[in-house]
Every structure is written in structure tokens, then in C-alpha cells.
């Protein structure tokens, strides 16, 4: 028995059983060379060896070897079958294998996605959950969606949180809290709470907000333990059966005098007086008080935690009334129709469905919404704009948390003026009569229903408007709904994209950040199980490769008309003062490009959420990359922290945003010298590969959001410009830069098996003897004073990621391409060594001495165009034309930068490749 390790040419190693350390009676092989440690995130070898040694040679046979191969993670979601063979007898058996939950997709993805269907609330889970400072400035612990059934081990929080969010779990009883004097806000929406334990007041003395929306509290007596909470101000019991009980709201108001808001409606003085009159002894209220007393003595219809929820019993016991369910006439009509029906034929079934729909329409209980009513004039004004087109737009607002009314009507206005009029810190509903022109010249009009809820608005305001939206939408038929949380989401181009994506046919539009029909961001993909998502991803890669093959169908045409580019494509400038404190030195960039950065990060969150089907990966980023930020070297650590603070984006996400450019950048760079000895340095920066392909518009999702975030930066010290660069807002490293009179520098990613992700993992695991690529280039631009010094720093510094550094100088024949491994320089390609053309160098993402990847050859077309232009015509114009020729210019290209060291000229332009165009 042996394991033969092969290259494509010959055997690298033959591992005989006699050479196996500690066990000569068996060999076990996974997917990594046996003399090297397995990949840290895909270790099946260690568990397999552990199980084999535990079984021992004495018990070995089909039974035990099958048991070993059925042990997780040797068995995982990717396993298709297990085969058992015995040569001497010729026995051969194979069995289809399925790994039931809890089971990892494979040991690589297990830590990120594979969660059991239900979980215990362990100290480890609490410690590893997301801990943030929420918009109200409170420390918040996020325990959402873990399917926790029992509250326990909350002492592990060490009373460090003002808010605990337990939404979307399986909790049946509100009990089991230790003494947590700091806890003020508790959210348990979408659970199965049936009982509230006694003693909450002693465990949670400061509790002021309790959200129990969509639970299973049935009787008024079930709420009795809440009377001990003397500081309770906000309470939500929406979508609980108890909402339908007679005098429910007045009963709660009477029992909880400290309450200020119930079910997101302010408690008025009139309600308090009415409750006092109804539930005090004597007079009319005496009977009601006795009824309440009898309720208090009647035990609640509940079960022991863990038992099934008595949904049917709850439904049967709920009273039927005009306000809370179908009327008696409705029920009689349905029963009579069923009694008369012999079969569910084509006539009977529609009649039953119509009766049921009519009954349901009349049976909307107040506790199923926010309790906000709609002023009759709202519908009148809507009819005027829908039928008569009398107004351009109408703004509605909620008055006194009780009524949706018309705030203002505007008969004529430009769309820009409308956007400017939106309140920046308050919510609104708007109906806008929007006229637009199709590509074929046809005219269209759509009524837009805009739910405006800016991110900076108070949480309570957003909750009231969100919960009241259905009430007003019920009055507004035939509208296109727009959910907008930022000005960028109501920008006119965004609105047009939404209408275009839906063909202006639906009454519900996707969010602007989802306006691209991304292949693998569909609802069906999000609903898939974790293991089944792998196949669409593999199919995506295959389709992308096939799409890339379309480059062969697009002939290379060396453009001569691209320069000068449109004036509005040139990137504008801001200053970063290196003398300023790192925490605040990026404030000009944030002020200039903050909204675009937030939109980009938000789109990436949507991409990840739809790809994985949950917020889990995003939460892991927010939690696990936050400590990583504090391991980064100064001043970059404080700069990233400062950007997070100024933008409100979680620190973990800003850190990931900066890491991405270490491992995910595709580029083309050129250094060229004209016949007069003038050096030019230019580059295309391509980014966004595999981050969402829009089939409708043939664009890359993230690339479209990157272009608006591009900014030119002058880095200054003592009021003088040290160097200039083109950055994506929020990225503190350097990818493209010029030091006037000294040198120019661009960085291209080097596609290599020992890639940047390995260095990042090593850094996370504590091995931090290398430098982040973007931080190295930034240090070179700040400290190197000459071409030679920059070259020395770029060739000798150990880095986290392999790369190509394209360096331009200020003297004739200067210019080189440094090919880097993570440890040192593999090659320095000087212009004097360039075959056929010593006057320029061109670098993409592959070693220059090897042929480029067959599906990504930008080098050959680039060289063809450079040779066609010739040295005599070289300058900004022709080098820009080369970089604007397909496929050097492609769907991933975000900008083109042009630099000249001797004069300090620096220009960068946003680039968009129109069809027909290569995907990369």
C-alpha cells in the first residue's frame, strides 16, 4: 500500500506504509502533500488520523473504517459516496452518503456558515457574538437568529450591555436572567414567548424598553409580571393573541402606569383617564374591574417550555368580532357555501375564496399594525394626482403618532428640487408623478411611492413609519414602491435603473442597491441551503470563463479617438494633511466621498447577504475584523478607525474594505519613453471580478459602485505636496501615485497560488513579520526620495501579498517592473532587457516571462497597440488611446491614470467600457 504524489510530469513522492510515522498499518491521504501541514481551514487529515488511532489495528475492518469515514469533518456536505474494497476476496461495496445537520459544508466553510438548527445560549456563543455601539450610543449585544430556546448563561455578558437583541429565536419563556442592573433595552421580536417569569424587576431593575412583537402571549393575566417593572417606558406586544382581548390597551395602560408608549403609539392623557375610570372600583368600571380580577385568577393557557405551541387552541379561544376577526355573517356565509357545495368545482372554489378574502379584508385587528390611521383626504389627493395629474408630488407625514395626513402638495417642481426638499433627519411618505423617456423614444409615466427613511433618522421614527406603511399603501393602488435610506437611493439615475430593471410593470421595486439583476443574487439563490449554493457559484465561474472567451469574438482595435476623454470623467482633487492627527486626517475625503463610500459598503453587504442567505458572514466581519484593525501598524490603524468613526461604517467592514485591495486587484500598467527622453507612466485599474455580474446591463456590480468613490488626493506636509495619488475613498494604502520630480509607482496584483489571502490568514493567526502591500507603497511614497531608494524598498521588504510594482523614474532608461513573492523580489525587469522594445514596458497580472492566462490576455493586445503607435508619437494622448482599447479597457476598468514625473503632471479619468466589450 502506498500514496503516490504526482506532478504532471512524474512522481514527486511515493509514500510507503513502512515510512508512515507512528502507524505502519495504514495510510490516510486528503488533498495536501503528506509531508506538509494541511491548509488550516481544511483539515480532514488530523480528525481522520485521530479516529483511526482510536479504533486501532486490532478492530480494523469494513465496519470501523466506514465509521471513520462517516465522522465529521471527514464526512461533510460535499461527500457523495463511501467505497469499501478488499482485494483478496474481491469484495466491493459503495454507499451514497448524506451528512445531516449539524454538518459542515466542508471544513473550509464550516466555521463561517454551517450552524446547527438550534443552539444553546452558551458563554462561548455570547462572547463570540457581535458587540457594537448602536446609533443611540448604547452598547448592544446581537444574539439574533441563533434559534435559542432557553435563556441561560447571560451572566457571561458581565453586565456590559445596555441593549440585548434576541430577535428571531425560539424562546418560550421570558425568564432566567441574572442580576443585570445595566440592561435597559430587551428585544425579543419573532420568538414564541408564552409566559413571563416572576422576578424580572429584581433581575432587570433598569429595564425601560421591552419589544415582544410577534410572540404567543394569549391572556391579559400573562402580562401581570410586567407590573413589577417600575421603569418600563416602551412596550410592544403587536401580533400577540392578547392584542385581541377586550379592553387590551386600556388594561395595559392601567396596569403599567410608568408606560409611555404601547405598540409604538404614545399613551395619551385621555387614555389614562379612560383606563382609570374603567378599572377602578365603583360605577361603570366596577364590572370591568371584576372581569379583570377574574382574569388574574384564571391561569394562562400555556405549556412547559419545549412543548409545541398551541396555535390551534389559541385560534379557537380568540374572540370573534368586527375589530379582531371575521363577523358572524362572514362565518355563516362560508359555512353555508361549504354545506351547499358537492365538489370544489370551477364555480364553488372561487366563491369560497372570494368570501374568505372579503372576511380577511374586514378582519385586520389593530394589534397587527402600528395603530396609525389614514386621513380620508390622503386618498382624495392621491386620486387627483393619479387620475388628473394635477400635482407633481405629494408629501405625507404622521401627526401625533396617530394619523397619516398630507403635509404639502407641489404642483410643479424639477426632480432635483424635490430631492433637495427631502428632510435629512425625518421620515416621510411621498407620491411622485414621474415622467421618463424609454430608449426607443417612447414616453412613460409612473407614480412612485417613496418611503423616505434616512439612516440618520431616530430609530423610533423609522419603526413607526415602517409599521404604518401598509396602512397608507392600502389606499394607494398602482404605484411603484421605492424604499430609500440615503439621497443616493432617490437620485434620478437610480430611479431610472429601477424602472428599467422592472420594465415599469411591477408595483414593487427592488432597492437601488439591488437594481442590478445579478446572476447569483436572486431570491431563489438566497433561499437555497448552504451546500446547494456551491453549485451556482461553480456555474457562475464557468459562465464567466465562457463570457471571457468572448474576447476572441471582439477584435482588438487600437483606438485613436479616445483622447481627450470627456471633461466630466476627470477625477477631482482633495487634500490630506499628513501633519494632522491620523484619526481625523481623512476628513476631507470623507466629506467629499462619504455618501459614495457608504453606498459601496452597503452594496457589498447586500452582495454577501444574498450570496450566503444571512447576515452571519457580515456579523463575523463586524466582530472578528474589529480586533484585527487594532493589530495594524500606525498610523494606518488610527486612520482606519477614524474613517469608521466619521462615516458610521462598522470598523470591521472598513478593515475588510482595505484588505480587499491586497488580494483582488486586476490592472494594466505601462511605463514608456518618447524619442525626446520624456518618461510617461499610465495605468488602468480594474476591480470587482466575480463580485456580481448584471445580466441585463452586462456590468460588474461592485465596479459600478467603485467609480463614484474614486478621488484624487494630494498628500501634504508643512503645506507642501509630498505626493499625489488616485484612491478609492476609504482606502488608506496606495495603488497609483506620483512623487513630482522623483518617481511614479503603480501596483498590479500577481496571480499566484501563494496569494495575499495566505498572508492575511497568517497575520490573523499572529504571524506579523510582513508588511501590508498598500502600507508599503504608502511608506515608499512618503519616505523614499529617489527612484533608486524606492526600488530598493520595493524589492527587499517582506510583504503579505505577492505583487508587481511598476516603477517610473525621472531620467532616460529609468523604469522597471519588480516581480515580488511575499518574501523577496523574484525578478526586476529593466527596460534595457525588454525584447523588441526598450522604450516601454507593459505589465498585466502574469509573470512577463510566461504566457498570460488564455482567458485573460490583455498583454498581447496592449503590446500590439503600443507597437502600432510607436515611440515617435508617444505621449498622454496615445498612451490613453492604448489603455482605452479593448480588452485592455474592459468591464472591470474603473479609472485610467496618466503621470509624468519631470513636470509633476497627474490626471485620472473614470472609465466605462461600452458594448461590445470584454468582461475583463
Question: How far is it, in rounded angstroms, from Cα 548 to Cα 239?
Answer: 52
Backbone angles phi, psi at 667, to 5 degrees: -150, 165
Which three cell numbers, joined as nine digits, stand for 654? 472598513
3-state DSSP assignment of residue 283: coil
Question: How far is it, in rounded angstroms, from Cα 779 to Cα 132?
Answer: 32
Question: How far is it, in rounded angstroms, from Cα 154 to Cα 122?
Answer: 8
414 CB-near residues (< 8 Å, 6+ apart): none
Which three cell numbers, joined as nine digits, stand for 34? 503528506
Distances (CA, A) of 817 to 214, 329, 538: 62, 85, 34
810 CB-near residues (< 8 Å, 6+ apart): 679, 741, 742, 743, 787, 901, 902
532 CB-near residues (< 8 Å, 6+ apart): none
Buried b (16+ CB within 10 A) or exposed e, 742-755: bbbbbbbbbebeeb
Question: How far is it, in rounded angstroms, from Cα 763 to Cα 865?
Answer: 41
Residue 891: burial class (beta carbons within 10 Å; 0-12, 13-18, 19+) = buried
Question: How far is it, in rounded angstroms, from Cα 638 to Cα 647?
Answer: 14
The widest CA-to-CA distance across the chain, in whole angstroms, is 107
Q: What is the DSSP letter of 119?
A: B
**In this structure, are residues 74 and 43 in contact, taking their beta carbons and an 8 Å threshold?**
no
Report DSSP letters for 533-561, one per residue. GHHHHHHHHHHHHHHHGGGGGS-----SS
Between β-strands 91-96 and 743-749, what pairing exists: parallel, antiparallel or unpaired?
unpaired
- What is the H or E stretch that residue 83 is in? strand 81-86
335 CB-near residues (< 8 Å, 6+ apart): none
799 CB-near residues (< 8 Å, 6+ apart): 759, 770, 771, 772, 773, 776, 820, 822
3-state DSSP assignment of residue 279: coil
Report DSSP letters for 8-62, one per residue. SSSEEEEEEGGG-SS-TT-----SS-TTSPPPTT---HHHHHHHHHHH-GGG-SH
Tally the C-alpha atoms within 13 A of residue 394's C-alpha that lie toward its C-beta: 21
**In this structure, are residues 292 and 220 in contact, taking their beta carbons and an 8 Å threshold?**
yes
Tally the C-alpha atoms within 13 A of residue 250's C-alpha that lie toward its C-beta: 16
157 CB-near residues (< 8 Å, 6+ apart): 126, 141, 164, 180
Please tell me which residue in 494, 667, 816, 865 is annotated as part of the active site: 667
**In this structure, are residues 527 and 613 in contact, taking their beta carbons and an 8 Å threshold?**
yes
Distances (CA, A) of 415 to 437, 513, 765: 15, 20, 52
- What is the H or E stretch that residue 916 is in? none
**In 625-774, beta strands by DSSP E:** 665-673, 679-687, 693-694, 699-700, 710-717, 720-728, 736-739, 743-749
Is 917 a residue of the active site? no
Question: How far is it, in rounded angstroms, from Cα 333 to Cα 338?
Answer: 9
Of the candidates 398, 514, 361, 386, the residue with the CA atom closest to the CA atom of residue 449: 386
**In this structure, are residues 230 and 204 in contact, taking their beta carbons and an 8 Å threshold?**
no
- Catalytic positions, written as ranges: 667
Amino acid at each position: 500500500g502506498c500514496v503516490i504524489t504526482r506532478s504532471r510530469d512524474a512522481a514527486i513522492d511515493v509514500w510507503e506504509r513502512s515510512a508512515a510515522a507512528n502507524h505502519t498499518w495504514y495510510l490516510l491521504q486528503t488533498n495536501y502533500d503528506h509531508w506538509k501541514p494541511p491548509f488550516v481551514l481544511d483539515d480532514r487529515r488530523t480528525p481522520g488520523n485521530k479516529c483511526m488511532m482510536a479504533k486501532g489495528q486490532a478492530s480494523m475492518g469494513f465496519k470501523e473504517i466506514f465509521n471513520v469515514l462517516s465522522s465529521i469533518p471527514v464526512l461533510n456536505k460535499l461527500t457523495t459516496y463511501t467505497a469499501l474494497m478488499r482485494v483478496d476476496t474481491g469484495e466491493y461495496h459503495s454507499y451514497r452518503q448524506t451528512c445531516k445537520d449539524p454538518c459542515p459544508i466542508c471544513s473550509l466553510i464550516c466555521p463561517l456558515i454551517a450552524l446547527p438548527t438550534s443552539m444553546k445560549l452558551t458563554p462561548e456563543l455570547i462572547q463570540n457574538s457581535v458587540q457594537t455601539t448602536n446609533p443611540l450610543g448604547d452598547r448592544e449585544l446581537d444574539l439574533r437568529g441563533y434559534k435559542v430556546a432557553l435563556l441561560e448563561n447571560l451572566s457571561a455578558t458581565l453586565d456590559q450591555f445596555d441593549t440585548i437583541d434576541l430577535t428571531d429565536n425560539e424562546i418560550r419563556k421570558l425568564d432566567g436572567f441574572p442580576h443585570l442592573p445595566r440592561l435597559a433595552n430587551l428585544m425579543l421580536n419573532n420568538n414564541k414567548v408564552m409566559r413571563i417569569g416572576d422576578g424580572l424587576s429584581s433581575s432587570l431593575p433598569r429595564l425601560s424598553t421591552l419589544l415582544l412583537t410577534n410572540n404567543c402571549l394569549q391572556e391579559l393575566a400573562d402580562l401581570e409580571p410586567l407590573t413589577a417593572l417600575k421603569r418600563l417606558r416602551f412596550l410592544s406586544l403587536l401580533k400577540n393573541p392578547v392584542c385581541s382581548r377586550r379592553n387590551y390597551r386600556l388594561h395595559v395602560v392601567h396596569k403599567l402606569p410608568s408606560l409611555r408608549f404601547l405598540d409604538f403609539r404614545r399613551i395619551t392623557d385621555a387614555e389614562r383617564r379612560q383606563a382609570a375610570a374603567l378599572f377602578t372600583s365603583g360605577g361603570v368600571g366596577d364590572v370591568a374591574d371584576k372581569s379583570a380580577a377574574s382574569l388574574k385568577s384564571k391561569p394562562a393557557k400555556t405549556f412547559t417550555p419545549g412543548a409545541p405551541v398551541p396555535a390551534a387552541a389559541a385560534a379557537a379561544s380568540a374572540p370573534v368580532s368586527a375589530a379582531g376577526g371575521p363577523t358572524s355573517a362572514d362565518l355563516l356565509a362560508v359555512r353555508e357555501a361549504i354545506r351547499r357545495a358537492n365538489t370544489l368545482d370551477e364555480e364553488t372554489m372561487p366563491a369560497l375564496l372570494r368570501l374568505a378574502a372579503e372576511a380577511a379584508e374586514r378582519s385586520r385587528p389593530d394589534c397587527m399594525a402600528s395603530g396609525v390611521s389614514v386621513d380620508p383626504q390622503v386618498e382624495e389627493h392621491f386620486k387627483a394626482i393619479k387620475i388628473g395629474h394635477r400635482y407633481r408630488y405629494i408629501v405625507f407625514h404622521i401627526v401625533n403618532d396617530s394619523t397619516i395626513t398630507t403635509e404639502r402638495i407641489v404642483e410643479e417642481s424639477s426632480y432635483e428640487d424635490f430631492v433637495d426638499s427631502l428632510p435629512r433627519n425625518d421620515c416621510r411618505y411621498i407620491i411622485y408623478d414621474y415622467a421618463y423617456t424609454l430608449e426607443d423614444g417612447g414616453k412613460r409615466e409612473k407614480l412612485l411611492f417613496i418611503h423616505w427613511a434616512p439612516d440618520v433618522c431616530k430609530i423610533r421614527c423609522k419603526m413607526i413609519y415602517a409599521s404604518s406603511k401598509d396602512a397608507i399603501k392600502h389606499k394607494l393602488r398602482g404605484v411603484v414602491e421605492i424604499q430609500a435610506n440615503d439621497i443616493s437611493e432617490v437620485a434620478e439615475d437610480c430611479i431610472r435603473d429601477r424602472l428599467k430593471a422592472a420594465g415599469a410593470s411591477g408595483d414593487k421595486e427592488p432597492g437601488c442597491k439591488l437594481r442590478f439583476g445579478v446572476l447569483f443574487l436572486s431570491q431563489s439563490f438566497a433561499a437555497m441551503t448552504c451546500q446547494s449554493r456551491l453549485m451556482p457559484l461553480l456555474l457562475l465561474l464557468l459562465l464567466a470563463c465562457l463570457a471571457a472567451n468572448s474576447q476572441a469574438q471582439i477584435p482588438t482595435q487600437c483606438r485613436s479617438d479616445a483622447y481627450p476623454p470627456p471633461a466630466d470623467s476627470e477625477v477631482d482633487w482633495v487634500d490630506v494633511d499628513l501633519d494632522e492627527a491620523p484619526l481625523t486626517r481623512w476628513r476631507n475625503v470623507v466629506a467629499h466621498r462619504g455618501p459614495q463610500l457608504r453606498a459601496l459598503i452597503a452594496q457589498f453587504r447586500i452582495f454577501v447577504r444574498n450570496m450566503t442567505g444571512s447576515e452571519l458572514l457580515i456579523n463575523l466581519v463586524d466582530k472578528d475584523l474589529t480586533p484585527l484593525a487594532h493589530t495594524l501598524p500606525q498610523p494606518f490603524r488610527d486612520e482606519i478607525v477614524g474613517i469608521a468613526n466619521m462615516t458610521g461604517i462598522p470598523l470591521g467592514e472598513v478593515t475588510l474594505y482595505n484588505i480587499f485591495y491586497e488580494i483582488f486587484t486586476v490592472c494594466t500598467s505601462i511605463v514608456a519613453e518618447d524619442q525626446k527622453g520624456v518618461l510617461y507612466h499610465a495605468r488602468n485599474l480594474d476591480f470587482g471580478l466575480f463580485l456580481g455580474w448584471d445580466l441585463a446591463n452586462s456590468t460588474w456590480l461592485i465596479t459600478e459602485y467603485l467609480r463614484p468613490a474614486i478621488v484624487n488626493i494630494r498628500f501634504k506636509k508643512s503645506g507642501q505636496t509630498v505626493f499625489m495619488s488616485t484612491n478609492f475613498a476609504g482606502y488608506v494604502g496606495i495603488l497609483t501615485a506620483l512623487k513630482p520630480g522623483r518617481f511614479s509607482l503603480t501596483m498590479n496584483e500577481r496571480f499566484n497560488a501563494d496569494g495575499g489571502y495566505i498572508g492575511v490568514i497568517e497575520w490573523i493567526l499572529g504571524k506579523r513579520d510582513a508588511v501590508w502591500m498598500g502600507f508599503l507603497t504608502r511608506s515608499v511614497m512618503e519616505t523614499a526620495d529617489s527612484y533608486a531608494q524606492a526600488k530598493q524598498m520595493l524589492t527587499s521588504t517582506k510583504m503579505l501579498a505577492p505583487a508587481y510594482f511598476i516603477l517610473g523614474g525621472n531620467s532616460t532608461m529609468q523604469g522597471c517592473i519588480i516581480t515580488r513573492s511575499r518574501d523577496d523580489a523574484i525578478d526586476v525587469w529593466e527596460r534595457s532587457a525588454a525584447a523588441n522594445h526598450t522604450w516601454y514596458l507593459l505589465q498585466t497580472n502574469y509573470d512577463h516571462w510566461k504566457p498570460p492566462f488564455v482567458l485573460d490576455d490583455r498583454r498581447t493586445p496592449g503590446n500590439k497597440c503600443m507597437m502600432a503607435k510607436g515611440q515617435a508619437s508617444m505621449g498622454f494622448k496615445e498612451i490613453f488611446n492604448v489603455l482605452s482599447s479593448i480588452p485592455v479597457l474592459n468591464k472591470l476598468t474603473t479609472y485610467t491614470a496618466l503621470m509624468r514625473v519631470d513636470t509633476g503632471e497627474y490626471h485620472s479619468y473614470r472609465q466605462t467600457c461600452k458594448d461590445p466589450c470584454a468582461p475583463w
